[in-house]
Amino acid sequence: MSELLDLAGIFVFALSGALMGVRKRLDAVGMGVLAGMTALGGGVVRDLILNVRPIAFQSLGYVLVPIAATVIVFFFHPHVARVMPAILVLDAAGLGLFCAVGTEKAMAYGLSPLHSALLGVTTAVGGGMLRDVLAGEIPTLLYDRQLYAVPALLGSAAMAGLSSYGWHGWPATLAAALLAFGLRIAAMRYKWRAPLARGVSE
């Protein structure tokens, strides 16, 4: 079940990466690279920091899903772009899931709650950051005007706190994931924005 949820999140992230490739007028290879980086980059970075073999290299599904997302966007990108609001909701769900799972894995490998939370954020937004760098955009992590990294940070902090007090397994993961998901949805709904430096206008 957990792998199916992982693959669902990877699929949604890969769609956003491939769509970025369309907007940047990249070819099929470029679209595939952005899709793969968006979907798998955060998890790979997390596993490398934990000094374990990345899970993306242990299952064929983790490679095939971004390829499938790229093919869908390649042929049907106008239709995919049309349902972007629904994709953003699924993306928020993937954000919540990945930040919680990433934090829990880091805690299981003995990292402190603070470092685990930071690694959870890396899992959730690292792929998008790599996508933005490759596409020549300011990474969301550095310009969080749509409150993307902040919900991931709070969800990761919640997961680390729950784990510290002995709450493990799917109830804790679900609670942290729902917190990040809810904050991300609320940010999109009410157009919440992170503040700029004092005196700097929009």
pLDDT digits (tens, 9 = 90+) for 149-182: 899 999 999 999 999 988 888 889 999 999 999 9
Q: Is residue 67 part of a domain?
A: yes
Q: Is residue 198 part of a domain?
A: no
pLDDT averaged over every residue in the chain: 90
Predicted pLDDT at 145: 64
- The pTM for the full model equals 0.89
Q: Is residue 107 part of a domain?
A: yes
Q: Is residue 195 part of a domain?
A: no
Task: Quote the DSSP letter at residue 197.
Answer: P
Average pLDDT of 183-196? 88
Between 84 and 158, whose confidence is greater? 158
pLDDT at 60 over 70: yes
Contact 42, 120 (CB under 8 A): no
Give the count of domains, the chain.
Answer: 1
State the residue range of the domain holding 28: 2-190
- Cα(175)–Cα(147) distance, rounded to whole angstroms? 19
Predicted pLDDT at 202: 65
Contact 96, 155 (CB under 8 A): yes
Q: Whose structure tokens read 């880091």?
A: 106
Counting other chains too, the contacts that 77-85 makes at CB distance below 8 Å and 24 or more residues apart are 77/18, 77/19, 77/22, 80/15, 80/19, 81/19, 81/22, 84/19
Neighbours of 78 (CB within 10 A): 9
What is the residue type of 23? R
Task: Quote the DSSP letter at residue 56.
Answer: G
Predicted pLDDT at 157: 97
